[in-house]
C-alpha cells in the first residue's frame, strides 16, 4: 500500500463503503499485517446531528458482545477532528447477496446460518443487548462462509428498573407485531421474531410478510398471516410456526429454539474460549472531549432542533425577499423546498413519519432529521428525500425538504402528495405578515 496515509499503526487504503455519517476504508495493521476495516466519523458531523450518544452506544455494544459470529471491534482511535473505529475486515459480502444470487438456500445451508445466527443472538441477550434490526443485509459472511452479525446502531442496552423497550425501530418486514403496537416490548422476544423471518427468507427466497402499503403489511404481521411452501420439512415448518407466533408471551424463546430437534441436527455449539474482561476506558477517553462540546451545543439548542439564523435564512430565499420561505405558492417544487409550522418540533417529526408510512415509504429518523425512501427495491433511481426541522423563531419551525436521490418528476409527484397530507400542520401567514419583522426577531 505505497503512498497511502497512516492513522497510528494503520496504513489506510481505498474506500470500501460509505454511509450517511461515516466512510469505511480498507486498512492494514503495519505491526501484524492484519487487514481491517476502518470506519471514519467526523466529530463535527456527530455533533451537528447529535449522534454522540448513539455512536458511543454502538461502539460500546460491539466491544461488549465479542463472539466468533459477530463482527469484531479491535479498537477505537481519535484525532482532533475524527473518530476511527477499527473493525474486523469481513470479505464474504452480505448473506442477502447470496440469497439474491441463489434465489433460496437448501434446508441444510439455511439451518447452518440460522444456527450461527441464534448462537450470536443468544450471546448478545446473555449480555443484556438486543439488536432490534436483524435482517439479511446486516448479516455478513467471512472467507470461510461463516456468519458475522453487524450493525448494532439500533441496539438497546438494559436500563436499571426497565423491563420493556418502547422505541419503534428496525425494518418493517422483519419487525415483531408487539414492536409496531407501541405498548412496550421485550427485546429478546422481538429479536427471536426477526430471526424467524430471516430463516423463512433463507429457505424461501422471499419475505413471509410483504405488501406494498404499510397498513396491510402491519395487519399481516399482527395476524402472522403467512404460509410455508410445500418443500419445507415438517420440523422446519413446526419451528417457524413457533417463532412467528404473534403473541410474545407464548412465542418460543432462544433456549427452546436451541433444544428443538430440527435446529439441533448437525449443530455444533460454538466455543469461544475464556470470556474476556471488557474495558470501555478507551471509548470513554475518545468521547470525553467531544462530550464537553456536545453539552455546550445542547445547552445552546435546549435539546431541540437546530436554530437557523437570519443569514442562513437569506441563503434559502430569493435574494432578500423572504416571502418564498413562508408562502408555498411562491416556491416552485425544486430539488429543495420547504414549509413552515407552528406545531412543536416533536409533533412535526412524528407527523412526517406517519404520513410517509401511510405513503408506503421507509422512514429513518435521527433527532430532527428524517430520510424517506421508496420501498420498491426493483425501481432504478430509487427516490430518497431528506427532511430537516429548523427553529426560525420562538414556536416557529421551518421544514427543509430536499431530494437526495431519484428522478425529479417522481420527487415532484411525491412533494405534491406529501404536502397535501401535511396541510393540517402547515402554518399559513395572515395577509399583511411582514417577513422582514421576523428576520429582525431572528437576528436578535
Residue with cell 436500563: 159
Over the range 202-238, which residues count as b (16 or more CB within 10 Å of their CB) and which as e? bbbeeebbebeebeebbebbeebebebeeebeebbbe
The catalytically annotated residue of 119, 133, 151, 186 is 133
The DSSP bridge pattern shows strands 306-307 and 384-393 to be parallel
d(CA 89, CA 70): 12
369 is in an annotated binding site: no
Residue 292 is among the residues annotated as catalytic for this protein: no
CA distances from 332 to 74, 290, 370, 415 (A): 50, 40, 22, 11
**Binding site, annotated residues for ATP:** 48
Q: Which residues are annotated as a binding site?
A: 48
Q: Supply the residues annotated as catalytic.
A: 133
Amino acid at each position: 500500500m505505497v503512498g497511502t496515509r497512516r492513522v497510528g499503526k494503520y496504513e489506510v487504503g481505498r474506500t470500501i463503503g460509505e454511509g450517511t455519517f461515516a466512510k469505511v476504508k480498507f486498512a492494514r495493521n503495519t505491526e501484524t499485517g492484519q487487514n481491517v476495516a476502518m470506519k471514519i466519523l467526523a466529530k463535527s458531523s456527530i455533533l451537528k446531528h447529535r449522534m454522540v450518544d448513539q455512536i458511543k452506544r454502538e461502539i460500546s455494544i460491539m466491544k461488549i458482545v465479542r463472539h466468533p459470529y459477530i463482527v469484531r471491534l479491535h479498537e477505537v482511535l481519535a484525532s482532533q477532528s475524527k473518530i476511527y473505529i477499527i473493525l474486523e475486515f469481513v470479505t464474504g459480502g452480505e448473506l442477502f447477496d447470496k440469497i439474491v444470487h441463489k434465489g433460496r438456500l437448501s434446508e441444510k445451508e439455511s439451518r447452518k446460518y440460522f444456527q450461527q445466527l441464534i448462537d450470536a443472538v443468544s450471546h448478545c441477550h446473555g449480555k443484556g443487548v438486543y439488536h432490534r434490526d436483524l435482517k439479511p443485509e446486516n448479516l455478513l459472511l467471512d472467507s470461510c462462509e461463516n456468519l458475522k452479525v453487524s450493525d448494532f446502531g439500533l441496539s438497546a442496552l438494559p436500563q436499571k428498573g426497565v423491563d420493556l423497550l418502547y422505541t419503534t425501530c428496525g425494518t418493517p418486514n422483519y419487525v415483531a407485531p408487539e414492536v409496531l403496537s407501541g405498548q412496550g416490548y421485550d427485546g429478546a422476544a422481538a429479536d427471536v421474531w426477526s430471526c424467524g423471518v430471516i430463516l423463512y427468507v433463507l429457505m424461501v427466497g422471499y419475505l413471509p410478510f410483504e405488501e406494498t402499503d404499510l397498513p396491510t403489511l402491519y395487519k399481516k404481521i399482527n395476524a402472522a398471516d403467512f404460509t410455508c411452501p410445500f418443500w419445507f420439512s415438517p420440523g422446519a415448518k413446526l419451528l417457524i410456526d413457533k417463532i412467528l407466533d404473534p403473541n410474545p408471551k407464548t412465542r418460543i424463546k432462544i433456549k427452546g429454539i436451541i433444544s428443538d430437534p430440527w435446529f439441533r441436527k448437525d449443530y455444533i455449539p460454538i466455543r469461544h474460549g475464556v470470556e474476556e474482561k471488557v474495558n470501555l476506558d478507551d471509548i470513554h477517553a475518545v468521547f470525553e472531549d467531544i462530550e464537553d462540546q456536545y453539552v455546550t451545543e445542547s445547552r445552546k439548542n435546549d435539546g431541540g432542533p437546530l436554530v437557523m439564523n437570519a443569514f442562513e435564512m437569506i441563503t434559502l430565499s430569493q435574494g432578500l425577499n423572504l416571502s418564498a420561505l413562508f408562502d408555498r405558492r411562491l416556491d416552485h417544487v425544486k430539488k429543495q423546498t420547504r414549509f413552515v409550522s407552528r406545531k412543536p418540533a416533536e409533533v412535526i417529526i412524528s407527523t412526517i413519519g406517519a404520513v410517509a408510512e401511510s405513503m408506503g415509504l421507509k422512514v429513518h429518523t435521527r433527532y430532527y432529521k428524517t430520510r424517506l425512501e421508496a420501498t420498491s427495491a426493483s425501481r432504478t433511481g430509487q427516490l430518497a428525500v431528506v427532511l430537516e426541522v429548523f427553529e426560525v423563531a420562538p414556536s416557529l419551525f421551518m421544514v427543509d425538504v430536499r431530494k437526495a436521490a431519484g428522478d425529479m418528476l417522481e420527487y415532484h409527484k411525491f412533494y405534491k402528495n406529501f404536502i397535501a397530507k401535511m396541510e393540517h400542520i402547515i402554518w399559513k401567514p395572515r395577509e399583511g405578515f411582514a417577513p422582514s419583522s421576523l428576520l429582525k426577531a431572528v437576528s436578535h
